[in-house]
Structure 1
Amino acid sequence: MKHALIFRVVLGLILSSCLSSCGVAFRSAWRKAPVTSQVEGRWQGTWLSDANGHQGELRCVVSELKDLQGDHEFFYHATWKKILSGSYKAVHRTKKQQDGSYRFTGEHKMPDWAGGLYHYEGTIKGDDFKANYKCAMDHGTYTMKRVR
């Protein structure tokens, strides 16, 4: 009984330190993000799984243009159940539309237990960010607003 309690405490400490450290790089990127009226900058909102109804807070830092093809790095940080969170980066290709909005598409490989290959497509128009995501285990939406 005593060993089980010690194991739970140690496991809890390990998990707590891992979960708290996964946002350090994101917080740094968030502080340094450029503020523009185009694609780049800070975005904040929510994600919603259409497959199972799960939802959470979502933030994203979009980097400056990486190349002439329209690629940007999108650095996402999502929460689930207000206690779990994670960050990941995905390159999305953006294309300016005639109405001044931007359409983007991209992919990102996650571990198989987390859904595997994710596909993204969305639009950024003014201060609104809307996207759909899809993988083998889930599909849903991202809805965010620009943070100035």
Structure 2
Amino acid sequence: MHFSTASAFWVMLLAAATAGCSTFNSDWKKAGATPPGDDITGRWEGSWLSGKNGHHGRLRCVVTRLGDDRYRAHYQATYWKIFRISYSVDMQARQESSNTCKFQGETNLGWWGGGVYHYDGDATPTNFFSTYKSKYDHGTFQMT
């Protein structure tokens, strides 16, 4: 069988995307085995919505604590109901009130993913809201 350069590229891209989803699914299962805490760590599920073009999809996230004021959000987003992307964002956080945490962070999804995305939001133990912004898109994440 003879593969063209384009075919090889798509096979490698599919393999990379699948590997990211596999890691996310493992993190998702582990987080589900732990009872919810009184902070923003754990599993979240909801949706994302582009304010630029109205695109939307399912969104899942696992938040882990990295330090006193640092968290990592590992997201899995569905696009057009069939495509999935998984990526992580390191976030700086501050406690706004007894149960509200404000956070911000950024990640670079590469040229194929739209470049650098900036996140700004807040979360309680039961609700997670964030805005996102990049050169090409902006929108919201809402999860419970």
Classify the TM-score, shorter chain: 0.7 to 0.9
In the alignment of these two chains, the number of paired residues is 136
Cα distance in 2, alignment partners of residues 108 and 138 from structure 1 = 14
Partner of 2:63: 62
What amino acid is aligned across from residue 41 of structure 1 in structure 2? G
Deviations 1:28-64 (A, max 9, x none): 0011124312110000000000001111100000012
Structure 1 runs not aligned, ≥5 long: none
1:79 aligns with 2:78: yes
Deviations 1:95-140 (A, max 9, x none): 1112521100001111123221111000102311010000000000
Residue 120 (structure 2) aligns with: 121
Quote the Cα distance in structure 2 between the aligned partners of 1:16 and 1:123: 33
2:44 matches 1:46: no
Residues 1-148 of structure 1: pairs in structure 2 closer than 5 A: 14=11, 19-33=17-31, 34=34, 35-64=36-65, 66-68=66-68, 70-145=69-144
RMSD between aligned residues: 2.1
Q: Secondary structure at the match of 1:23?
A: helix
Q: Which amino acid aligns with 1:67?
A: G
TM-score normalised by the chain length of structure 2 = 0.84
SS of alignment partner, residue 28 of structure 2 = helix
Q: Which residue identity is paired with 2:39?
A: Q
What displacement does 1:94 show?
Answer: 1.3
In the alignment, structure 2 segments of 5+ residues that lack a partner are none
Query: Normalising to structure 1: TM-score of the pair?
Result: 0.82
Cα distance in 2 for residues equivalent to 1:98 and 1:17? 43
